[in-house]
Structure 1
Amino acid sequence: MRVRPVSIGKDFLHECPRYAEMMQMLIAKGWVANHNLACIPFDYRYPPGETDFAEDLKKLIISQFALSQGRKVTIACHSQGCLLAYQFLRTQDPVWVARHIGLFYSLAGQFSGCSDCLRWAFQQEWSWDSHDKVASPSDMTWVGELALGLQSSIFGEAILYRWGQTSYRARDAQTLLREAGALAIAEATNRYALEKQTWFQKGARDHQPLPVPTRVVFGTGLLTTAGFDFAREKVPVSSCKDPQCQGLYSQKNPELIQTTGDQGDSAWMNRAPRMWLKHPDCEMKEFAGISHMEIFKNATVLNHLSKTIQETASGIDVCLQNSAPASRGSSMQ
């Protein structure tokens, strides 16, 4: 699918206005916007690999690599953008990746399906209302997000949804979608679920590290919505093929199922890379009390990014030098 961004790597502020403050903070550290500091926008209505994002990112890397006369590029990403960058790194020639990319730096990256996002499939569009406890700038057109499914390797046995007396875990996502009448999303999820993708299995199942130095940073210790608790207001309609049939659509404010995280992603999602990092105790860094939307403009975090770039640019990966391999459990809690 050809999705046409406004531009790619030419006008940072126009392409990625959400990260304007981060851009200014990096400029203060010596980067030059639209020269050695570029941004690539993405369209999350489609799953990873189904747009030209990877091709566009590769072209941008090649141009930056040439512009810097062979200096390796750092890929820094945030939230859903990290899943697209991760898919890119998993599907490219590892020799090419190691030659052109010096560091992969994830800021509150998403490396799984989004558990609370599943609600979009059978709820009314969320709003921009800052006083609404379940408000979101996203809506049900984000089929690409919903099609990722939920992964038991990441969410384990955690209860993510309830509907009356019935509980649903990650492995029950298809069941919930079908019972809720969200058949179109169920079909999309069944077709593209991350756990069915070879590139995703390299990390989640085979525990293969990426061929470049990697850092995964995120906030912790904040109450985070993992899913929702819906009331059973009517007898289920077996012939229902639309979310409005079963009564979920009319429940604007279901009870929240909460856990710890960064107020955007749960700790289960944030810690998912532990399964494939070489030295997760070193390569992952948690910042207490920093939220999902604050982490990319936090001075301490950006200092860590800058320091790590300097280290890897000089050929030093302190996590390889100082760390012994750690156990790669899913670290769920």
Structure 2
Amino acid sequence: MALVRPLLVVAALLALPLGSRAGNLHPVVLVPGYGSNQLEATLTAAYEPSAPACGAGADQQGWFQLWPNQTAMRDASQAPCFADQMSLVYDAGADDYRNAHGVATRVPFFGSTRALIGWDQLVRQLEGMGYRDGETLLAAPYDFRYAVAPPGHPSAVGDRYFRDLGRLIQESRLSQGRPAIVVAHSFGCALTYQFLLSRPLPWRRRYVKHVVLLGSALGGFAAGMDALSSGMDYGLPGVTRPAMLRLARSQQSALWRLPTPLVFGDRPLAVTGSATYTARNVSGFLKAIGFPEGVRPYETRVLPMWEALPAPMVPVTSVIGVGVKTPETYVFWTDGLEGKAEVVYGDGDGDINL
């Protein structure tokens, strides 16, 4: 669900028992959706570009904005560079994801709403209610290419984000004297939900007043399968199909988009002339699209986290979108998953299924 009506969030917040004076406000922590985070990168001498132009002066240019990438959006010749630098690598030996060699990344402005893309209207509304950036109004951006993993599996970037998010919420409670309201959007909802489950119940009840989930997809959505079969171009011109597939399939977070058996059951998600794929045989789907290396991380790092949806045991307000054509099933009029699919639509917000 796009953040085109931030007043919905404000309405949800106003429905909570907030005071009318700035001194009575509970701190608000904003957890953005997938594309609403900024990402900076720097290249070292170890970087091996796929094209000479991508590595020119790489170890001397310092930090630059990797996302959103205005240079690549204007210049199609930069698309290969973007794909190189944005893609992750799954290290099967270490059982974790990392950046490509020679690429270092960071998420700027953690704690401040300066970090957010597309949240300006909501921030202004909250500031009009008395909230102040960095004090009672905080933001928890993240590297959206990563996620977390279940116990027993390393997740260096995701675990660090959870520590930072926990510290931010805890410090807001200590500095303002009131537990925080956490407002999350899209992929940020899935991260927030898993974050809450990872914290002891006494901690949740002490530091979290309320959680507002906007367009959450706890358990995936049908379009998540299309992203892995067709690839992602991030709206950039001139991205080749191999680069689009690499961008999608290398990201840990892309596997979190896949529909889970608990939520989708036996609903047909992708249909060919010889097979029907549901959430119960996603592993077969991954093999069929030529992505067998995605099976292990999907089965060991994703499925165990979404086998159940226990209540987080804190008050939750969920805002969902309805009445918009939303992909529900992808039909391929061949025996395989090649070519362009015919899309069967259902209800939802355009991305997230109802």
Bin for the TM-score computed over the shorter chain: 0.5 to 0.7
Other-structure match for 2:323? 221
Q: Deviations over 1:51-103 (max 9, x none)?
A: 112101011012211220x2010111000001111111001010011011100
Q: For 1:91 and 1:4, how far apart are their aligned partners in 2?
A: 24
Q: Does 1:265 align with 2:352?
A: yes
Instruction: Give the Cα–Cα distance (whole angstroms) in 1 for the partners of residues 213 and 256 of structure 2.
Output: 22
Counterparts of 2:108 and 2:259, CA distance in 1: 31
Secondary structure of the equivalent of 1:103?
Answer: strand
State the shift of 1:148 in Å: 6.0
| 1:210 matches 2:312 | yes
Alignment-derived partner of residue 37 in structure 1? 137
Contact 1:156 1:170 in 2 (8 A): yes
Paired residues of 2:221 and 2:353 also in contact (CA < 8 A): no
Deviation at 1:45?
Answer: 2.1
**Within 1, Cα distance between the matches of 2:271 and 2:180?**
45
1:138-153 matches, within 5 Å, as 139-146=248-255, 149-153=258-262
Q: Distance in 2 between matches of 1:170 and 1:16?
A: 33
Q: 1:162·1:229 contact (CA, 8 Å) conserved in 2?
A: yes
Give the equivalent residue in structure 1 for 2:341: 254
Query: Which amino acid letter does the alignment assign opposite residue 32 of structure 1?
Result: R
Aligned to 2:127: 27
Question: Which of the numbers 177, 183, 195 marks the counterpart of 2:292?
Answer: 183
The 1-side partners of 2:347 and 2:286 are apart by 25
State the Cα RMSD in Å.
Answer: 2.5
Identity, % of aligned positions = 21
Q: What amino acid is the match of 2:162?
A: A
Residue of structure 2 in register with 1:47 after alignment? 147
- Pick closer, same or farther for the CA change 1:166–1:191 going to 2, 3 Å: same
Tell me, in whole angstroms, the C-alpha distance in 2 between the residues paired with 1:125 and 1:148: 13
**Partner residue, 1:62:** 170
Cα distance between partner residues in 1 of 2:163 and 2:146 = 15
What's the TM-score once normalised by structure 1's chain length? 0.64
User: Which stretches in structure 2 are left out of the alignment for 5+ residues?
Assistant: 1-96, 99-104, 150-154, 238-243
Deviation at residue 247 of structure 1 after TM alignment: 6.4
Letter of the aligned partner of 1:170 in structure 2? A
Deviation at residue 127 of structure 1 after TM alignment? 5.0
Separation (CA, whole Å) in 2 of partners of 1:183 and 1:156: 22
Q: CA deviation at 1:147?
A: 5.1
Work out the number of aligned pairs and report it: 236
Please give the residue correspondences for 1:1-333 in structure 2 after superposition, counting only pairs within 5 Å.
Answer: 4-9=106-111, 11-13=112-114, 15-49=115-149, 50=155, 51=158, 52-68=160-176, 70-126=177-233, 128=235, 139-146=248-255, 149-194=258-303, 196-197=304-305, 200-201=306-307, 203-204=308-309, 208-232=310-334, 248=338, 251=339, 253-267=340-354
| 1:126-152 CA-partner distances (Å, limit 9, x unpaired) | 45289xxxx9xx844433222564312
* Segments of 4+ moved more than 6 angstroms: none
Measure, in 1, the Cα distance between the counterparts of 2:220 and 2:282. 11
Amino acid at match of 1:123: S
- Stretches of structure 1 that go unaligned for 5 or more consecutive residues are 234-245, 268-333
* Alignment CA distance shift 1:85-1:247 (3 Å): closer
Quick check: 2:325–2:345 contact (8 Å CA) kept in 1? yes
Whether the 8 Å contact between 1:75 and 1:105 is mirrored in structure 2 is yes
* One-letter identity of the residue aligned with 2:208: I
